[in-house]
């Protein structure tokens, strides 16, 4: 059996639930929506497709569904909204609109778990405690400082969770890397502020941040809120060839992402782009268009 899970906190908790359900009788790989096709192709090329496959917390695309059909049964357990796809024979899709994929996994296998609320909070960007923030930033820090070897760290965290070690101890053991990451963020604060353009579009506050560094949107938003204060209706963060859209006022950002050819969730969406020179204008156009449509609906 093979599990491919997302390389974030939700993906790690999915892995933990698989350990809980199956012990360690399976091989795990980490991937994401932009690398899933490559990972599946590689596994098929290496002849590993005679195994049963589970994929968690990674949004499907049509090609990935076809690739997963080459395995000895494939199961997608996820919470990302998808368009209607052609689902090939032997492929099962289990998608529920929960806040985390971990909750979908728990539902799928009928497991109870005390950590699901924490994962829901973190994955839906609704951090409610220092513990949740530490856990989120720890996972980011591990990937940032260990871009090649992070799977070993993530597997160990999931195994420690499964052996009953409290989450506080799991974080405490790795507090050095968390501290280093927070110091790194502190040094980048001024850069982030200087990279932010502020607009008022149809009465809504819009921040567009052009980033040279791969700092996650949640860290950027916390820095912007701390330094500039207040809520932000739309935050668009540009990473060179892809953008992330977020809101701190529960605006629907999915429609804006769709207007830019992307997708995601209502409060967290993304898109890709080629032309750096045109993208800011295009984003502004899409935001204006979406606001106009919303106002039309309200009447
Ligand atoms: Mn997720």
Is residue 73 included in any domain, yes or no?
yes
Tokens of 268: 């967290």
- Ligand 1 centroid to 101 CA: how many Å? 5
- Ligand 1 centroid to 120 CA: how many Å? 8
d(CA 77, CA 58): 8
Q: Does one domain contain both 114 and 25?
A: yes
Q: Does one domain contain both 157 and 230?
A: no
Determine what percent of the chain falls in helix, strand and coil, rounding each to the nearest 5.
50, 20, 35
**Span 195-218, mean pLDDT?**
95
- Ligand 1 centroid to 176 CA: how many Å? 26
- Ligand 1 centroid to 11 CA: how many Å? 7
The alpha carbon dihedral of 152, 157, 162, 163 has a sign of positive
Q: Whose structure tokens read 């395995």?
A: 71
> How many structural domains are present in the chain?
2
Put simply, whether the predicted model's pTM sits higher than 0.85 gets the answer yes
- Ligand 1 centroid to 79 CA: how many Å? 7
Is residue 189 included in any domain, yes or no?
no
- Ligand 1 centroid to 242 CA: how many Å? 19
Q: Does one domain contain both 288 and 152?
A: no
- Ligand 1 centroid to 296 CA: how many Å? 32
pLDDT tens digit sequence for 43-86:
999 999 999 999 999 988 899 999 999 999 999 999 987 777 89
- Ligand 1 centroid to 214 CA: how many Å? 19
Q: Does one domain contain both 29 and 158?
A: yes
Q: Does one domain contain both 67 and 200?
A: no
- Ligand 1 centroid to 244 CA: how many Å? 15
pLDDT tens digit sequence for 152-195:
999 999 999 999 999 999 999 999 999 999 999 999 999 999 99
Cβ atoms within 10 A of the Cβ of 20, count?
Answer: 17
Is residue 117 included in any domain, yes or no?
yes
Tell me which residue range forms the domain holding 274: 195-298
Give me the pLDDT at residue 299, please: 67
Is residue 182 included in any domain, yes or no?
no
Which residues, in sequence order, are CB contacts of 262 under 8 Å at separation 6+? Answer: 243, 269, 270, 271, 272
Chain centre distance of CA 38: 18
pLDDT tens digit sequence for 93-104:
999 989 999 999
Q: Does one domain contain both 153 and 294?
A: no
- Ligand 1 centroid to 2 CA: how many Å? 19
- Ligand 1 centroid to 10 CA: how many Å? 5
């Amino acid at each position: 059996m093979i599990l491919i899970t997302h390389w974030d906190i939700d993906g790690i908790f999915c892995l933990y639930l698989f350990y809980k359900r199956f012990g360690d009788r399976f091989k795990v790989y980490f991937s994401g929506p932009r690398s899933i096709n490559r990972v599946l192709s590689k596994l098929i090329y290496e002849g590993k497709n005679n195994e049963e496959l589970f994929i968690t917390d990674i949004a499907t695309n049509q090609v990935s569904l076809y690739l997963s059909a080459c395995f000895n049964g494939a199961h997608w357990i996820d919470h990302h909204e998808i368009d209607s796809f052609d689902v090939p024979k032997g492929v099962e899709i289990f998608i529920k609109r929960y806040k985390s994929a971990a909750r979908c996994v728990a539902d799928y296998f009928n497991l109870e778990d005390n950590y699901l609320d924490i994962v829901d909070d973190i994955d839906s960007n609704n951090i409610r405690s220092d513990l949740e923030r530490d856990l989120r930033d720890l996972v980011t820090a591990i990937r940032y400082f260990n871009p090649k070897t992070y799977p070993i760290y993530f597997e160990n965290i999931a195994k420690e969770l499964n052996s009953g070690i409290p989450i506080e101890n799991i974080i405490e053991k790795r507090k050095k890397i968390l501290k280093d990451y927070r110091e790194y963020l502190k040094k980048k604060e001024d850069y982030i502020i200087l990279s932010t353009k502020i607009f008022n579009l149809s009465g809504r506050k819009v921040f567009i941040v052009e980033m040279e560094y791969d700092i996650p949107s949640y860290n950027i938003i916390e820095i912007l809120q701390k330094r500039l204060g207040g809520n932000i209706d739309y935050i668009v963060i540009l990473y060179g060839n892809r953008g992330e859209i977020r809101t701190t006022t529960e605006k629907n950002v999915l429609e804006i992402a769709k207007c830019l050819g992307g997708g995601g969730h209502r409060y967290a969406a993304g898109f890709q782009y080629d032309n750096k020179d045109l993208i800011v204008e295009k984003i502004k156009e899409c935001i204006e268009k979406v606001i106009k449509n919303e106002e039309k609906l309200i009447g």
